[in-house]
Amino acid sequence: MKKKYLAAVAAVVAATALSLASCGQPGQPPALKSAPPSAPESPSASAPGKTFKVGAIQLLQHPALDAAYQGFKDQLAADGFVEGKNITYDFQNAQNDQSNCSTIANKFKNGNLDLILAIATPAAQAVANVITNTPVLFTAVTDPVSAKLVNDINAPGTNCTGTSDMNPIADQMKMIKQVLPGAKNVGVFYTSSEPNSVEQADIAKTEGAKLGFNMTDYTISNSNEITQVLNSMVGKVDAIYIPTDNTLASAMATVALVAEPNKIPVMCGESNMVASGGTMTLGIDYYKLGQQTGVMAAKILNGQAKPQTMPVEYQSSFAYTINVKNAAAIGLTVPQDIMDKADKVGQ
């Protein structure tokens, strides 16, 4: 990871976070029977002399998913699994192509791997469809039950478990209301072929309607449609909400090219999207999510736990991130109490 990005991650972690209890409300992580530790534990690597082989499949490369993978590797290194010494990684980028996900999954099936990391839902589903014996950890998956990766959040019952990136969507809608008290029309912008995005969009529409917003769908099927759909929003929406959508996360610069000149705030699902051209968020930290997944991996590799009985984990604290340059460009004044506790990017 680049030093500049690591510094940004450190700033997010250091910022005063808004802690939210997991209460099972829409758009919030469900309550767990056994909550994950507030800070990563550090089991020591076992089996001296053994070299572990880990396969990693990532749906596509963009800052959030990259951060999750880096956090995973960094945490394993901190736990004694050092790349080039006692662990090797076979990293595969699926280029946002489902057929590539299937090809990579079949390669991993015959790869004699000790563990597989799957980053994002389509990647995890491809692996789970063909691999039933090797432990599989997923991350950046919003709803692993609906994705049929686990039978139950607290008792997965399969060879898969991991960490969810479910955002505090209800609180993100309240953030929009607080920052834009006069807003009436909110465009919900997402990729219709991404199940995680569809689920988050449905929650956002429900929660936004409770606050009096007129919530309207604006969808794309691929990145070529982004500019056209954005232009169709101009003059119709007071703000745009984008969930943790992989296609749009990788194209936030394109989003900004239309939204910023038209002075439309873009409220995002996570902080890397804000840094790449959005306006602000109240969201999770994908690097820390990767670290959580790394702690789980260390326990599996050490023989201390099995995926079948490891509850899916969620983040329980969230932080504001504001793109101050974008906010200034669109003429947005963020309430001081939020500014005081926010991580600021784009300066």
Give residue-wise pLDDT tens across range 138-167.
Answer: 999 999 999 999 999 999 999 999 999 999
- Provide the domain limits for residue 214: 169-283+319-345
Residues of the chain with pLDDT under 70: 1-48
For 305-336, letters b (16+ CB in 10 Å) and e give bebeebbbbbbbebbbbbbbebbebbebebee
The CATH number that applies at residue 255 is: 3.40.50.2300
Sign of CA dihedral 128, 131, 135, 137: negative
Residues 60 and 121 in one domain: yes
Kindly report the number of other CB atoms within 10 A of residue 11's CB atom. Answer: 15
Which pLDDT score, from 0 to 100, does residue 30 have? Answer: 57
Nearby residues of 337 by Cβ (< 8 Å), 6 or more positions away = none
User: Cα–Cα–Cα angle for 92, 95, 101, nearest 5°?
Assistant: 60
Which pLDDT score, from 0 to 100, does residue 29 have? Answer: 58
Strand partners, 220: 191
Domain presence at residue 7? no
pLDDT tens per residue, range 17-66: 333 333 344 455 554 333 344 444 445 555 567 999 999 999 999 999 99
Domain presence at residue 16? no
Residues 273 and 259 in one domain: yes
Residues 257 and 303 in one domain: no
Output the average pLDDT for the chain. Answer: 89
Which pLDDT score, from 0 to 100, does residue 281 have? Answer: 98
